[in-house]
Amino acid sequence: MANIIIIDDEDHCINVLVNLIKKVHADYNITGVFTNPLEGLDFIKSNPPDLLFLDIKMPNLNGFALLDNLLPIDFDVIFTTAYHQYAIKAFQYSAMNYLLKPITEKNIVKAISIWEKRREKTSTQQWELLQDQLKYQNKECTKIALPTGVGYQIVEIQNIVRCQSDSNYTYIFCKDEIKILISRTLKEIEELLLDHGFVRVHQSHLINPQFVKGILKQDGGSLIMHDEVEIPVSRQKSKQINDILDTMLRFK
């Protein structure tokens, strides 16, 4: 059972959400739907949901301003947005959930499934990171929100040495010897960090080439990282060794 509130200034968007939620999760309780965000804000203050579906661009009060009036946030948020893809990256870096309009049954099933598995309350720090990333969305993102068992830890991407898969979890190793276990797959982390030069050299390993200390070519090849750990390179990824070496030489 989950209590859900929907706020969107377009009636047809609300109808789509209500129908899809009832179809895929008849046990969920939709406690309120609002086209007026001010009314929705007042309702949430006395009737906080487990999950809020929130539009961004609305008259009188946009979705971001609405959440600013509810800090600290003690529920989860899935944004429903028509934002372009370049802005969606900001949501991913801040680990916030979103649905890109037009909303389909497949997308809402996936979004709710992810939420059910994680059920991690939105943190104020996570919300502030999203605002920063959206504000400077034309600049390269420099931080990422890592979901831990007790909340979110914000780290500088440039300080990440390597990431190592552990089933559906991933260990993040940083240059200050901090090790963080997060409830995300290595594939999810790879999708975020590829634009920052990270390389998937093995099924279980994603590395930052700037922290490669050495390259060993025997037995298929391996990399010596900043933390002295030797990382294997899969045969399918062996070409990456030369690419990494080229990158290192360019930065000499």
pLDDT for 126-151, tens place per residue? Answer: 888 888 888 766 567 788 988 887 77
**Is the confidence at residue 6, as pLDDT, over 90?**
yes
Is 118 buried (19+), middle (13-18) or exposed (0-12) by CB count in 10 A? middle
Domains of the chain, earliest start first: 3-135 (3.40.50.2300), 143-250 (2.40.50.1020)
pLDDT of residue 246: 66
**Is the alpha carbon torsion for 209, 215, 221, 224 positive or negative?**
negative
Confidence of residue 95 (pLDDT cuts 50, 70, 90): confident
| DSSP label of 239 | H
112 closest CA partner among 197, 245, 39, 22:
22
101: pLDDT strictly greater than 70: yes
Measure the CA–CA gap between 36 and 117, rounded to whole angstroms.
Answer: 31
pLDDT confidence of residue 106:
92
Average pLDDT of the chain?
86
Residue 183 in tokens: 């409830």
Mean pLDDT score, 184-195: 89
**Using CA atoms, how far apart are residues 144 and 156, in angstroms rounded to an integer?**
7
Confidence class for position 248, pLDDT limits 50, 70, 90: low
Give per-residue burial for 31-58: e unless 16+ CB within 10 Å, then b.
bbbbbebeebbebbeeeebbbbbbbbeb
Q: At what angle do helices 11-24 and 105-118 cross, to 10 degrees?
A: 60
Grade residue 44 by pLDDT with cuts at 50, 70 and 90.
Answer: very high
Would you say residue 211 has pLDDT above 80? yes
pLDDT at 252 over 50: no
Regarding predicted confidence, which is higher, 96 or 80?
80
Does pLDDT of 3 surpass 50?
yes
User: With 50 as the cut, is the pLDDT of residue 5 above it?
Assistant: yes
Q: Is the pLDDT of residue 250 over 70?
A: no
| 156 has pLDDT over 80 | yes
Ramachandran region, residue 95 (left: φ > 0; alpha: ψ -120 to 50; beta: rest): left
Cβ–Cβ under 8 Å, residues 194 and 204: no
Place of tokens 């203050």: 45
Residue 121: its pLDDT value, please?
73
Q: What percent of the chain has pLDDT over 90?
A: 40
| pLDDT classification of 84: cutoffs 50, 70, 90 | confident
pLDDT at res. 51? 94
